[in-house]
């Protein structure tokens, strides 16, 4: 296939951030080329492997019905008992608290302040959304009660999101070139970025452009970079998503003097089924994740608890607990549920590929999963003794922070502390799955990449997971896709306007 080599805007990557950038640039009336390292079948970057969930500001279900969930059925609407609103102040408080107040406040204000508008814009491009009934709600008296702030997903999850964005790009006349990965950025004598050098099926090709948007992900699929920045042992973790996010955009920008920024030693990493392959599976997708731990306990192979399973909503803790699993013997942990809560686990626990065992007693379960029997029996006995008696005479409701905590344990459980005392007992074996890295490039509030003197590099913009400064140590669930959409739209618009004015 012969493709022109001169364009107005080139977008590197073809996930959510990249395609939002491409759509936004095309809206400015310029010609846009998208370069995707993967094949057409493997397109979409990490976005394909997500649940498609978005955290954004809104005033509750009635507000959402006006434009975001405008095609929701009456039956779906009637099944909702509570879908809490999320204000800008609430969102900012969560972002700053979870990132230990390290998040860039200027970028945070853009992320949050433009969240509702960006979701509306995506809907105008025919991206469809639905409440996350199966993952982000508990049924209480027959009604869905949503929790944790991320309650809306793209129809079809991440795969559906990518397909809808690609359909939108086709309607906008955007060209996508597959199997063509970025190798270098091209600059003129004054340092302005004037194109990219890429490697494709026919070898190296230089593409000229008036502006370039980097949106090709972090370095989580590069074992050498993981060890260099995250630490010893990180070459052994599983990768939840695409194998193509190897830091190409970050490295190309650093090579021309871009400013590294953000949490380079931290990442989004979750509890991930130990049977999962080294990289994401495009059939199972994100169902290898195991996120119902707040209604059970988590132990290592010595039978010891090591995290506060009820510290907060799972959306506020799951992205940091994979790192804690990495610290355990053999990088392995087991999530344990008794019969009282087992029916409440998320759908991902019911996949055929799950690694699990059941025991009539705690000792039986320990033996089945090669956990130290005495260690697990001791841990469960101490945990049960620390739970408040008769705390759940009312209905158990994990959709609210109930404050029902253990007492006297070195590792507490701060909410939903229900004894593990009703067999049969169920255990699920997990390891660490890395999602994306937090370190990346520094951008300004226009989406422009900054150099080592904090000045914009002419013609260069960035969006998505390769931007640093927004997440540190932890991450509020559903903010990754929103981050890609908001800053993809912003950078694409500004790149398009720059190209149009050139």
Among residues of the chain, what percentage have pLDDT more than 70? 99
Instruction: For residues 242 and 283, give the distance between their C-alpha atoms in angstroms, rounded to a whole number.
Output: 13
Q: What is the mean pLDDT of residues 385-392?
A: 83
Residues 179 and 277 in one domain: no
- At 2 the pLDDT is 65
Sheet strands (E) in 274-326: 297-299
- The answer to whether residue 300 scores a pLDDT higher than 90 is yes
Same-domain pairing of 416 and 445:
no
Work out the mean pLDDT of the chain and round it to a whole number. Answer: 95
388 versus 220: the higher-pLDDT residue is 220
Q: What is the pLDDT of residue 337?
A: 97
Q: What is the pLDDT of residues 339-369, one digit of tens each?
A: 999 999 999 999 999 999 999 999 999 999 9
Q: What is the pLDDT of residue 149?
A: 83
The answer to whether residue 79 is domain-embedded is: yes
Q: Does residue 422 share a domain with residue 318?
A: yes
CA distance 248 to 239: 17
Which tokens hold the place of 12?
A: 């590197």
Whether residues 443 and 368 share a domain: the answer is no
Q: For 132-259, where are the E strands, in sequence order?
A: 137-140, 143-146, 152-154, 175-177, 181-187, 193-200, 203-214, 238-239
> Smallest Cα–Cα separation from 247: which of 9, 13, 481?
13
Q: How confident is the model at residue 420 (pLDDT cuts 50, 70, 90)?
A: very high
Does 425 lie in the same domain as 473?
A: no
pLDDT of residue 18 exceeding 90: yes
pTM assigned to the model: 0.93
Q: What percent of the chain has pLDDT over 90?
A: 89
Q: What is the CATH number of the domain that holds 16?
A: 3.50.50.60
- Does the structure show a pLDDT above 60 at 171? yes
Q: How many CA atoms does the CB half-sphere of 383 hold within 13 Å?
A: 30
* H/E segment holding residue 263: strand 260-273
Question: What CATH number is attached to the domain comprising 423?
Answer: 3.90.700.10
Average pLDDT over residues 207-218: 98
178 and 281 assigned to the same domain: no
pLDDT at position 397 is 85
332 within 8 A of 360, measured Cβ to Cβ? no
Q: Which pLDDT score, from 0 to 100, does residue 394 have?
A: 63
Number of independent structural domains in the chain: 2
Are 35 and 65 members of one domain? yes
Q: Which residues of 6-23 are buried (b: 16+ CB within 10 A; e: fewer)?
A: ebbbbbbbbbbbbbbbbb
Question: Is there a domain that residue 143 lies in?
Answer: yes
Determine contact, residues 253/185, Cβ cutoff 8 Å: yes
Same domain, 298 and 367: yes
pLDDT of residue 309: 98
Q: What is the pLDDT of residues 142-155, one digit of tens each?
A: 889 888 888 999 99
Residue 258 lies in a domain: no
- Same-domain pairing of 37 and 156: yes
Domain coverage including residue 380:
269-391+398-432
**pLDDT in the model for residue 392:** 66
Q: How remote is the C-alpha of 21 from its chain's centroid? A: 18
Reply yes or no on whether the pLDDT at 183 is more than 90. Answer: yes
Q: Are residues 290 and 371 in the same domain?
A: yes
pLDDT in tens, 239-277: 999 999 999 999 999 999 999 999 999 999 999 999 999
Least confident piece of the model among 61-65, 107-111, 133-137, 458-462: 133-137
Torsion of CA 276, 281, 286, 292, to 10 degrees: -20
pLDDT at 393: 60
Residue 46 and residue 72 in one domain: yes
Question: 317 and 379: one domain?
Answer: yes
Predicted confidence (pLDDT) at residue 163 exceeds the cutoff of 80 = yes
Tally the residues of the chain. 502
């Amino acid at each position: 296939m012969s493709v022109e080599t001169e364009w107005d805007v080139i977008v590197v990557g073809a996930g959510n951030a990249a395609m939002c950038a491409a759509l936004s640039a095309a809206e400015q009336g310029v010609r846009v080329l998208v370069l995707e390292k993967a094949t057409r079948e493997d397109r979409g970057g990490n976005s394909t492997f997500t649940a498609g969930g978005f955290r954004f500001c809104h005033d509750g279900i009635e507000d959402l019905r006006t434009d975001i969930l405008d095609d929701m059925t009456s039956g779906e609407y009637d099944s909702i008992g509570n879908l809490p609103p999320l204000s800008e102040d609430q969102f900012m408080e969560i972002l700053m608290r979870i990132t230990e107040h390290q998040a860039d406040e200027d970028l945070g204000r853009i992320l949050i302040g433009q969240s509702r508008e960006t979701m509306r814009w995506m809907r105008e491009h025919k991206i469809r959304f639905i409440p996350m009934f199966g993952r982000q709600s508990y049924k209480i008296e027959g009604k869905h009660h949503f929790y944790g702030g991320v309650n809306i997903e793209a129809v079809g999850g991440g795969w559906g999101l990518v397909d809808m964005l690609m359909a939108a790009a086709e309607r906008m006349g955007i060209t996508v070139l597959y199997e063509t990965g970025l190798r270098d950025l091209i600059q003129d004598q004054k340092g302005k970025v004037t194109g990219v050098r890429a490697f494709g099926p026919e070898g190296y090709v230089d593409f000229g452009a008036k502006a370039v948007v980097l949106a090709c992900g972090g370095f989580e699929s590069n074992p050498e970079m993981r060890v260099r920045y995250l630490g010893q042992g990180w070459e052994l973790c599983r990768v939840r998503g695409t194998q193509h996010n190897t830091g190409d955009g970050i490295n190309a920008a650093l090579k021309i003097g871009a400013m590294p920024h953000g949490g380079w030693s931290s990442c989004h990493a979750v509890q991930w089924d130990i049977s999962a392959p080294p990289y994401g599976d495009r059939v199972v997708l994100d169902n290898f994740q195991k996120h119902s731990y707040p209604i059970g306990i988590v132990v290592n192979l010595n039978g010891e608890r090591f995290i506060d399973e009820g510290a907060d909503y799972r959306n506020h803790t799951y992205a940091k607990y994979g790192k804690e699993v990495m610290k355990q013997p053999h990088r392995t942990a087991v999530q344990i549920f008794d019969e009282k809560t087992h029916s409440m686990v998320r759908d991902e626990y019911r996949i055929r590929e799950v690694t699990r065992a059941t025991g009539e007693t705690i000792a039986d379960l320990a033996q089945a999963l090669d956990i130290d029997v005495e260690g697990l029996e001791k841990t469960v006995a101490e945990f049960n003794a620390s739970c408040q008696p008769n705390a759940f005479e009312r209905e158990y409701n994990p959709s609210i922070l109930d404050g029902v905590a253990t007492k006297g344990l070195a590792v507490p459980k701060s909410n939903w502390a229900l004894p593990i005392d009703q067999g049969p007992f169920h255990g699920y074996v997990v390891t660490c799955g890395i999602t994306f890295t937090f370190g990346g490039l520094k951008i300004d509030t226009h989406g422009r990449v900054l150099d080592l003197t904090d000045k914009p590099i002419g013609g260069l913009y960035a969006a998505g997971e390769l931007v640093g400064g927004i997440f540190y140590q932890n991450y509020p669930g559903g903010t990754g896709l929103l981050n890609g959409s908001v800053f993809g739209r912003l950078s694409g618009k500004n790149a398009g306007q720059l190209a149009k004015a050139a």
